[in-house]
Amino acid sequence: MTHSEQTRTPLSAGDDAKSVLVAGAGGVIGRHVADEYVRRGVPVRGLSRRPVAGARWHHLSVDLLDADAARTGIEAAGDTTHLVFGAYVERPTTREQIEVNSALLRNALQGLEAAGAPLCHVTLYQGGKAYGAHLGYFNTPAKERDPRLIQPNFYYEQEDILRAAAAEHGFEATMLRPEGVVGYAVGNPMNILMVIAVYASISRELGQPLRFPGTHAAYDALYQVTDASLLARATVWAGSEPRAAGEAYNITNGDQIRWRHLWPAFARHFEMDYAEPQPVLLAEAMPQYEDLWNEMVVEHDLVSTPFRDLAGWSFGDFIFRSGFDNVTSTIKARQHGFSDCLDTEDRFIELLQALATDKVIPPVA
């Protein structure tokens, strides 16, 4: 039994949910949440534009950017009691991010209202951007009561939309703030696990040592991650815990790491030599290895996935060049009843092994 299995919350958690709609079910967060509710025997519909391979729940193909399509597509989810909102669209400017991601949430809520859904609870995901992690240095450990920044942010806009709708229609809402979510999902630009897994696998295939590709400042800074399965358990908890109504919570594994310590552990796992960090822009370096990866897929009988969907190299560059401490306090969640935690180094190794077992990346031996 793995450590993550040992720390799971009881199966009774989440009994309040009669029917769950997960928006963004194809992403790393949404997929794990949908699977967790299914594991607990709760009916789940997963909403995304494209079907999700291997899904154990009913898929709804809906484009939330189209208000009319959203209203029509969500008609089938008229019995939804819990909405889990993990949909996200990347845009190059702050204004565009606010416009498009606000529309996603607004259309989902209006679609459920039109369907007459007996909505009881909505979980909305935020993240370190709420504290300014995307801007540079921010005060740590960040706490949920910290004031908003003067910088516009789509998290703020979405939260305001959700709180207003909750007050008008009588449902509860909880905001969860993970950092660096790790878990298996493809086509998701913000998943550092897949960046590490594919980068290490290609380096190993090339006969190179494993090198941290970021800056020395990032190599030594404190960082934290959130395991996707832990976040899924937090989501179930938030949807059934009265104290979580109207609250925001930082949700991470509960420890902090330095890449200085983890990358040698990754090298040992992959049975590779380890060399000193060498800053490399992954977004520039890695696309050239698409043909090599396709050869590796054939050689090792791996799951065939378009190379562009495997890893978000630009996201990896951002994380591995963030030369400041990124730490949020999880005390509030613990005080309110969610005490789940994981050892990040152990969990990374478990997940890397699982990727090999599932033939997403080549086996070590």
Q: Which tokens hold the place of 187?
A: 């086509």
60 beta partners:
47
* C-beta separation of 90 from 129 below 8 A: no
Encoded amino acid at 173, one letter? A
Reading the chain (365 residues) residue by residue, the pLDDT tens digits are 344 433 333 333 345 779 999 999 988 999 999 999 999 999 999 998 888 877 889 999 999 999 999 999 999 999 999 999 999 998 999 999 999 999 999 999 999 999 999 999 999 999 999 999 988 889 999 999 999 999 999 999 999 999 999 999 999 999 999 999 998 876 565 789 999 999 999 999 999 999 999 999 999 999 999 999 999 999 999 999 999 999 999 999 999 999 999 999 999 999 999 999 999 999 999 999 999 999 999 999 999 989 998 999 999 999 999 999 999 999 999 999 999 999 999 999 999 999 999 999 999 97
pLDDT at site 189: 58
pLDDT at site 14: 43
Element (H, E) at 297: helix 290-300
pLDDT at site 9: 37
In the chain, how many H helices and how many E strands? Answer: 15, 11
Domains of the chain with bracketed CATH: 13-178+228-250 (3.40.50.720), 182-224+256-327+342-357 (3.40.50.720)
CA angle 308, 311, 312 (to 5 degrees): 90
* C-beta separation of 86 from 183 below 8 A: no
Full strand arrangement of the beta sheet holding 44-48: 58-61, 44-48, 20-23, 82-85, 121-125, 172-177, 248-250
Model-level pTM? 0.92
The alpha carbon dihedral of 249, 34, 164, 98 has a sign of positive
Encoded amino acid at 323, one letter? G
pLDDT at site 160: 98
Q: Which residues contact 54 (CB under 8 A, 6 or more apart)?
A: none
Residue among 19, 187, 211 nearest 117 (CA) = 19
Residue among 212, 196, 334 nearest 274 (CA) = 212
pLDDT at site 54: 78
For the chain, state the CA radius of gyration: 20
